Amino acid sequence: MSDRDIVITRSFTAPRRRVFDAHTQPHLLRRWFGPHGWRLTVCEIDLRPGGEWHYVMRGPDDHEMVLHGRYLAIDPPNRLVMTETNVDCHARAEHESIITIELSGNTLLTHTATFPTRELRDAVLDSGMARGVGAGFDRLAATLEHTMDWKIEMIPVPVTDVDRAKEFYAGKLGFPVDVDHTAGEFRFVQVTPPGSGCSIGFGVNVTEMKPGDLKGVQIVVADIERAHADLVERDVDASPIWHIEDGQQVDGKGGAWNSFVTFDDPDGNRWVIQERP
């Protein structure tokens, strides 16, 4: 270790491969990276020597932090070396550091940040970088306790008329039909909103809910105005765009994660569209 290094060690009760994956796979990084109260809103990874990575973190009061760099060495599940620049940290904005992550034994992680000068190392220490990394490792430890991914596959929608519902969701909204299966007194139709990892299903003997009981399931979109225009063009009776202000629903767009549109299907099941930052 040199006088230009900050070294942080942490033991995890998880296989090295899982800890390595948690540093290199976006869907895992989004679960833990950053101090408490921060989340990754952008996580782009080109995992190869010379490939670039780019993170954007959003924290309390909508503060943002941008990190980026390139990969220098990749040896799963033992070692990962990359450059890092933090454009929002005064001490690091114009300097690259080298981050080395080594995994050994069962399972010891050694995180070494190497800076161009000792003075820069000291400035970064004063900025609280080590505390932030440590807090992130606390979140990583909690993430690793969950050994499986739990993904919602299908939301049942109670409907009165299956063909009418199919015409609405597939014909009017344009959701592709994955399944339309009938067996005796059972019929099941499954459609999936474009880009969604979760489907919706309806039919005969599919759910014990009554038609109209489903209220408030949220779908996220990148552009609420475009989504609203698309719904109107498809002749869907969608609400105007609204947001929450002082606990009340107010017309117009709000801030990040605070712009919505609602619409009902023919049975009165209500959906909420939310703009994702």
- Preceding amide of 13 cis, omega within 30: no
The pLDDT assigned to 107 comes to 94
Give the pLDDT score at 37.
Answer: 87
Full pLDDT tens readout for the chain, 277 residues: 689 999 999 999 999 999 999 999 998 999 999 988 898 999 999 999 999 999 999 888 778 899 999 999 999 999 999 999 987 666 565 789 999 999 999 899 999 999 999 998 898 888 888 888 999 999 999 888 876 677 899 999 999 999 999 999 999 999 999 999 999 999 999 999 998 889 999 999 999 999 999 999 999 999 999 999 999 999 999 999 999 999 999 999 998 789 999 999 999 999 999 998 7
pLDDT at residue 155, rounded to an integer: 96
The pTM score is: 0.57
Instruction: Cite the DSSP H helix spans in 36-170.
Output: 118-127, 129-144, 162-166
| Buried b / exposed e along 155-171 (16+ C-beta atoms within 10 A) | eebbbeebeebbebbbe
Q: Which single residue is written with the structure tokens 């107010």?
A: 250
C-alpha to C-alpha distance for 178 and 201, rounded to whole angstroms:
10
Instruction: Please give the pLDDT value at position 91.
Output: 58
